[in-house]
Amino acid sequence: MAQTQWLVAQKERRRIAGVFHLGDITNRNTPVQWENARRAMQVLEEGGLPYCLVPGNHDLGPGGGCQDRTTLLNEYFRAADLRKFAHWGGTYDKEPDRMENNFQLMEAAGRKFLILGLEFGPRADVVRWANEVATAHRDREIVLLSHAFVFHDDTRYDWERLGNRQGNNPHSYAMAKATEQDVNDGEQLWKKLVAQHGNFIFTLNGHVGSDGLGRVVSETPAGRTVPQMLVNFQMRPQGGDGWLRLIEMRRDGSALICDFSPTRQQRNESPQNQFALQLAPIALKA
């Protein structure tokens, strides 16, 4: 809980507006692990810090094996309990009481944001819903969270073009085979969702090993640039050594990125871990 305790302690000094969890909330989708996760995130709720979380592959199926989409997520993070918070936006319209797909409304640096969290390998109808949410909130800058989007080689996951050459694409899991490939990877989400709108400002994902870092900047058909970031520290010692990514939103439309570990009380100042992003202003049309 070192991360969430530090975030709450720093809330006022750093003017922290919200916290994002990019999935693999657990490793084995077991009650004990979900109880631990719930306690950690409860710190944010009690400290008045909004958050948005999404499930990863390890949060799905028996033992976290992602054989299907079954998960204990909704037994520990209940939409009925979370709707009371002012930052609540909504959930997937076909599954209103489930948290796999949700959005939250946050504000920082005088700017209004919508944090859109999608399940691992989102289903086609979930993408339909996500498009409707984006269209209905054209006045908000959107950040997309989904567990698998960018790979560690600074490209998007692209099953159609690369298949298993990019390890652990959502299409490669038993979950996908069991649903006749009703999943979407990073390239599909880019084409079907992000590139279709004028208000996505960046994406964030976890999932990928190696150094757990990656960055892509792509241009939409309308000429807007959208950064996409892989941020995954879970393979580091002690399950990640407490590393997290701080994103400082500036009033001039930019964002400053810095990776920090409350556990180690250390910043990582390498170019992969500390940099600036220039974010495109939102447009009413894609």
> Tens digits of per-residue pLDDT, 30-54?
999 999 999 999 999 999 999 999 9
Question: What pLDDT is recorded for position 283?
Answer: 79
Averaged confidence pLDDT in the chain: 96
Q: How confident is the model at residue 68 (pLDDT cuts 50, 70, 90)?
A: very high
For 253-263, what is the mean pLDDT? 95
Q: Domains, the chain, ranges and CATH?
A: 2-241 (3.60.21.10)
Select from 26, 20, 23 the least CA-distant residue to 38.
26
User: How far apart, in Å, are the Cα atoms of 52 and each of 116, 117, 279?
Assistant: 8, 7, 21
Question: What pLDDT is recorded for position 237?
Answer: 60
Q: How many residues does the chain have?
A: 286
> Tens digits of per-residue pLDDT, 1-17?
899 999 999 999 999 99
For 53-76, what is the mean pLDDT? 98
Question: What pLDDT is recorded for position 285?
Answer: 58
3-state class of 195 per DSSP?
helix
